[in-house]
Amino acid sequence: MSGGTSVEETLELWARSLRSAKDRMAPLFTQKRVVDSACAFLDVLIGNEPRKTGWMRAEAAGDPGPWRQQALLGRGHWDADALRDVVRDYVIEHLGTEEGVLVIDETGFLKKGQASCGVGRQYTGSAGKITNCQIGVFGAYVSERGHAFIDRALYLPKDWTSKPERLKRAHVPDDVVFATKPALGPVST
């Protein structure tokens, strides 16, 4: 604690900031129940649960099962890039400084099957070897005030982008073509 701020004051400031963030993202969803599901999803993501499977997220949100959150993430119609822009604007407003920098890095998500979009045998530093995984390229804003993720892109290997039928099954937009990881790097401006 700095400057004599009490724990209660800090928690109230944090809660007020979270409400503000939720208010900013609410217009991206078409129905109140979807807004409520998105806000519950956010609460669970920043909660104390060490693992966040669909069933665990649902239980923490008070849902009878993972279906609401699965619908939000898989079948819901909302603009992920617009949400990214809301987050980016919020981060710059609260963390922005003249010396702030954009950090680009990739990470791998280990996978067992072949159905997840972009999955394949490729090198990932998270395993330290070539293995079955997805690769995400992430942008984070960093300043003396803190740091936060502000963008993301899924790397699709040539094995994916060279097979239109596979892209279609994974619901990849028609305009997506192969791009190297460095080309995906400056993902948000």
pLDDT in tens, 90-101: 999 999 999 999
Instruction: Look up tokens 């963008």; give the residue.
Output: 151
Higher pLDDT, 52 or 158: 158
pLDDT in tens, 149-182: 999 999 999 999 999 999 999 989 999 999 999 9
Q: Cα–Cα distance between 73 and 136 in angstroms, integer?
A: 17
Out of 6-20, 59-73, 138-152, least confident range: 59-73
Statement: residue 52 has pLDDT above 50:
yes
Share of the chain above pLDDT 70, in %: 96
Indicate the domain borders of the chain.
7-75, 80-184
Task: With beta carbons less than 8 A apart as the criterion, state whether 132 and 115 touch.
Answer: no
- DSSP letter assigned to residue 4: T
Question: Strands, E, within 47-119: which ranges?
Answer: 101-110
In whole angstroms, what separates CA 164 from the centre of its chain?
26
Q: Residues 70-99: what's their mean pLDDT?
A: 90
Structure tokens at 128: 């330290």
pTM: 0.78
Out of 1-5, 48-52, 69-73, 81-85, least confident range: 1-5
HSE of 95, CA atoms in CB hemisphere, 13 A: 21
Q: Residues 110-131: what's their mean pLDDT?
A: 93
| Predicted pLDDT of residue 1 | 45
Q: Cα–Cα distance between 6 and 15 in angstroms, integer?
A: 14
pLDDT in tens, 25-48: 999 998 898 898 889 888 888 888
- Alpha-helical regions (H) of 74-187: 80-95, 158-161, 164-169, 181-184
Q: How confident is the model at residue 50 (pLDDT cuts 50, 70, 90)?
A: confident
Tally Cβ neighbours within 10 Å of residue 83: 15
